[in-house]
Amino acid sequence: MKRVLAVSTLIISMLMLSAFGPVNGAEGRKQFEPDVANTEVEQGTAPAAPAFNGHIVVIDPGHSAVMPRGTEPLGPGSVEQKAKDAVGTHGNASGLMEYQLTLIVSNKLREELLSRGYFVVMTREDSEHAISCKERADIANAVGAGAYIRIHANGAASAKANGAMTICITQNNPFTPATYPASSYLSAAVLDEYCKATGRRSEGIWYTDTMSGNNWSVVPTTLIEMGYMTNPAEDLWMASEEGQKLIVQGIANGIDRYFLGLGLQ
């Protein structure tokens, strides 16, 4: 079975859901674990892939060039509606759109996680398809992800705003409160290791129930705002090869720390 499951469109994600149902936890992981023991690598063509470490990570590159139309519930059973997605911000100095930056970083993060033995699922691999926040979370739910990582960059009215944050549901979340302890721990681990690796200022964890992509996730999730694209210096740093290398290392280290911590509990 391929170690990278590319899920880019609503059609594919809905097929997965109809075929497997809303699978979670150990049951979901069992269905989607790669058969590493039976994977053959043709001699002389490529090095053997690292052994599967038992963890599924879903990466969600925020936004897209094509916006889904309309609204969707803020969370399961909610009467409050929210736009299915937003355009996102853009780089004042780099000229990059947020959806471009998040996809670039997510692809590099995928490769890093694969090298560490994770099974990686992408919610999108291009920017040509519309996919809502709920549909993205549905993918993480369907594969029983151990961690659902949402990649974003921030924007502000002031060009001086800087730093990184993670966004997590509150302990009183009305939709998926059972995921709060793990999601909070994941948010802290990713933010701490990210700031340690990158030297970015920590803005802390923002606990809120206003993020539909978090509310619809029944697996542990965090959204990381890597920095401010409206800050010229931070924008150019995030767009640089060196900056992206540190970004990827920091997020991957945070994911490692999260799963290690779970094993120690």
pLDDT digits over 11-52, tens only? Answer: 334 334 333 333 334 444 444 445 444 444 444 566 677 899
Report the number of distinct structural domains present in the chain. 1
Taking the C-alpha atoms of residue 17 and residue 21, their distance in angstroms, rounded to an integer, is 5
Whole-prediction pTM value? 0.84
Q: In the predicted model, is pLDDT for residue 233 greater than 90? A: yes
Q: What is the mean pLDDT of residues 129-133?
A: 95
Q: Could you tell me if residue 60 is inside a domain?
A: yes
Q: Could you tell me if residue 230 is inside a domain?
A: yes
Q: Could you tell me if residue 42 is inside a domain?
A: no
- Whichever domain contains 14, its CATH number is 3.40.630.40
Mean pLDDT across the chain, nearest whole number? 87
3 state SS of 182: helix
Q: What is the mean pLDDT of residues 249-258?
A: 98
Structural domain including 161 reads 4-33+49-264
Q: What is the mean pLDDT of residues 233-251?
A: 98
Q: Could you tell me if residue 38 is inside a domain?
A: no
Structure tokens at 101: 């930056």
Taking the C-alpha atoms of residue 57 and residue 50, their distance in angstroms, rounded to an integer, is 16
| Between 224 and 36, residue with greater pLDDT | 224
Q: Could you tell me if residue 196 is inside a domain?
A: yes
Taking the C-alpha atoms of residue 201 and residue 197, their distance in angstroms, rounded to an integer, is 11
pLDDT band at 245 (very low <50, low <70, confident <90, very high): very high
